[in-house]
């Protein structure tokens, strides 16, 4: 089950109505929230991808359930390129080679819907909004690599973990938006 903040029913509507309704729903949502759009128009998948790219929102993926297409979009925060503050940083390539040589804990702080469509195998999903109440799930002495889409949310998470007493916290930059290593899905 993919966790979303809102669901939009666009079933039975033909182009351009699913996009018109999606635009209106996204405008009313908070930055970073995930919208599920339920549509029956077969062309809506290409439309949602193109519209997301043109507006800066993130197209996460589509799941087919019978005749219904469930599209998942994340509203952009507009500050995806904020200044990085956590000093301990690792590149995607360095993390990949580290993962091959030793046991690394990768904590993915993106929303659960983002994680479901694309994540590093064995990564732990801890959305940024749930991080503080779930700190006990992590080993304070382990080397923890924090990843998100661009390095901004993971930067915040790395700061939170460090201030909570975690010893070896490393922010992965630029994150999943440019990850070339292995990935998997968990949308079932």
Q: What is the pLDDT of residues 41-96, one digit of tens each?
A: 988 998 898 888 778 899 999 999 999 999 999 998 765 444 558 889 999 999 98
Q: Helix (H, G, I), strand (E, B), or coil: what is residue 178?
A: helix
Catalytic residue among 15, 63, 89, 135: 15
| Alpha helices (H) in the chain, listed in sequence order | 17-27, 44-55, 92-101, 112-117, 152-163
Give yes or no for residue 34 having a pLDDT over 70: yes
Contact assessment for residue 157 and residue 148, using Cβ atoms and an 8 Å cutoff: yes
The DSSP 8-state label assigned to residue 85 in this structure reads: -
Q: What is the reported pLDDT for 104?
A: 77
Q: What is the reported pLDDT for 188?
A: 64
Q: Helix (H, G, I), strand (E, B), or coil: what is residue 129?
A: helix
Q: Residue 183 is encoded by which pair of tokens? A: 């990935």
Q: How many residues does the chain have?
A: 188
The DSSP 8-state label assigned to residue 119 in this structure reads: B
Torsion 93-99-104-109 (CA) sign: positive
Reported confidence tier of residue 98, pLDDT bands at 50, 70, 90: confident
Q: Name the residue among 126, 123, 73 with its Cα closest to residue 103.
A: 123
Q: How far is CA 145 from the centre of its chain?
A: 16
Q: What is the reported pLDDT for 54?
A: 78
Give yes or no for residue 118 having a pLDDT over 80: yes
Q: How far is CA 95 from the centre of its chain?
A: 18
Contact assessment for residue 21 and residue 10, using Cβ atoms and an 8 Å cutoff: yes
Reported confidence tier of residue 38, pLDDT bands at 50, 70, 90: very high
Q: Residue 7 is encoded by which pair of tokens? A: 């669901």
Q: Give residues with Cβ within 8 angstroms of 42, minimum separation 6.
A: 69
148 part of the active site: no
In the block, tokens 């979303």 appear at: 4
Q: What is the reported pLDDT for 174?
A: 93
Strand-strand pairing, 124-125 and 105-108: parallel
Q: Tell me the C-alpha distance between 37 and 29, whole Å.
A: 13
């Amino acid at each position: 089950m993919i966790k979303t903040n809102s669901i939009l029913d666009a079933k039975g509507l033909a182009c351009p109505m699913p996009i018109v309704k999606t635009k209106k729903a996204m405008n009313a949502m908070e930055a970073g929230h995930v919208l599920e759009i339920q549509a029956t128009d077969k062309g809506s998948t290409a439309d949602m991808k193109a519209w997301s790219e043109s507006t800066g929102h993130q197209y996460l993926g589509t799941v087919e359930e019978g005749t219904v297409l469930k599209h998942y979009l994340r509203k952009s925060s507009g500050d995806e390129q904020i200044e990085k503050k956590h000093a301990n940083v690792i590149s995607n390539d360095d993390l990949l080679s580290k993962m091959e040589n030793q046991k690394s804990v990768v904590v993915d702080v993106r929303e659960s819907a983002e994680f479901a469509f694309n994540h590093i195998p064995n990564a732990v999903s801890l959305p940024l909004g749930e991080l503080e109440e779930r700190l006990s799930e992590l080993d304070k002495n382990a080397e923890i690599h924090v990843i998100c889409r661009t390095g901004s949310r993971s930067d915040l998470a790395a700061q939170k973990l460090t201030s909570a007493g975690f010893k070896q916290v490393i922010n992965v930059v630029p994150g999943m938006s440019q990850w070339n290593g292995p990935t998997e899905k968990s949308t079932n």
